[in-house]
């Protein structure tokens, strides 16, 4: 399976989600923190538009809808992941928007006030894919938009789900996103996996300028 092409990526991630239950994946969280807290700090305006890029089957849309946010979108390359999230949400799934796409090929049709990505950008190890991500990010946001990106930290794992990842410090992440995104708050988080191990993440909060 060539995980560098959109079809190969979709097949790879569909297979991951089809063969593992939700807490059999290292990134699983019952409680999507610090993501949810960082989004709340970014905006308490419940009509603010929020997109979770590579959201998979995360519980973040549940937390956002529970808190009253009304404009929530989840994008993922795996339709199986999104179907899992929708099944969990039941009729509430209709309150969110769902996009099946590879972020590196995606052409955003609108802009969001908050962009959130936990553990997706770090899978893009080629310069070409990283640039395509930044292009989509730029198209999908406007001046003043808040961009929250979490990747494995330099002390984090070198691979995830068998795929190599690019690890970042907050400064390296900032340099990679470029001058159009000014870094503010940044934090290191030791994520406890369902298997009892820990994974060091860096969370960067940027403002589009």
Ligand X SMILES: C[S@@+](CC[C@H](N)C(=O)[O-])C[C@H]1O[C@@H](n2cnc3c(N)ncnc32)[C@H](O)[C@@H]1O
**110: preceding bond cis by omega (within 30 degrees):** no
Other residues' Cβ atoms within 10 Å of the Cβ of residue 12: 18
> Which helix (H) or strand (E) segment is 23 a member of?
none
Q: How far is the CB of 50 from ligand X (least distance, A)?
A: 13
Work out whether 73 is an interface residue with ligand X (CB under 6 A).
no
Q: How far is the CB of 130 from ligand X (least distance, A)?
A: 11
Q: Binding string, 95-124, against ligand X, x = CB under 6 A? A: -------xxx-------------xxx--x-
Instruction: Give strand ranges (E) for 41-118.
Output: 49-53, 71-76, 96-100, 112-118
Other residues' Cβ atoms within 10 Å of the Cβ of residue 142: 11
Which of 5, 15, 27, 169 contacts ligand X by CB under 6 A? 27
Task: Name the residue with the smallest CB distance to ligand X.
Answer: 56
Which residues 174-193 are close enough to bind ligand X by CB under 6 A? Answer: none
Question: Are 61 and 39 within 8 A, CB to CB?
Answer: no
- Which residues are at the interface with ligand X (CB under 6 A)? 9, 13, 27, 54-56, 58, 76-78, 81, 102-104, 118-120, 123, 160
């Amino acid at each position: 399976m060539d995980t560098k092409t959109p079809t190969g990526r979709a097949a790879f991630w569909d297979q991951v989600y089809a063969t593992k239950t939700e807490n059999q994946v290292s990134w699983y969280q019952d409680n999507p923190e610090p993501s949810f807290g960082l989004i709340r700090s970014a905006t308490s305006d419940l009509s603010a538009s929020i997109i979770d890029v590579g959201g998979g089957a995360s519980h973040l849309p549940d937390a956002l809808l529970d808190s009253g946010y009304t404009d929530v979108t989840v994008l993922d390359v795996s339709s199986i992941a999104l179907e899992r999230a929708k099944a969990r949400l039941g009729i509430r799934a209709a309150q969110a928007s769902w996009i099946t796409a590879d972020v590196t090929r995606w052409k955003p049709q609108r802009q969001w006030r908050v962009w959130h990505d936990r553990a997706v950008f770090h899978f893009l190890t080629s310069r070409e894919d990283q640039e395509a991500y930044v292009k989509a990010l730029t198209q999908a946001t406007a001046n003043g938009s808040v961009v929250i990106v979490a990747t494995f930290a330099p002390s984090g794992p070198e691979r995830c789900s068998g795929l190599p990842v690019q690890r970042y410090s907050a400064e390296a992440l900032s340099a990679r996103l470029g001058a159009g995104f000014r870094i503010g708050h940044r934090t290191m988080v030791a994520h406890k996996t369902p298997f009892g191990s820990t994974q060091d993440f860096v969370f960067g909060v940027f403002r589009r300028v």
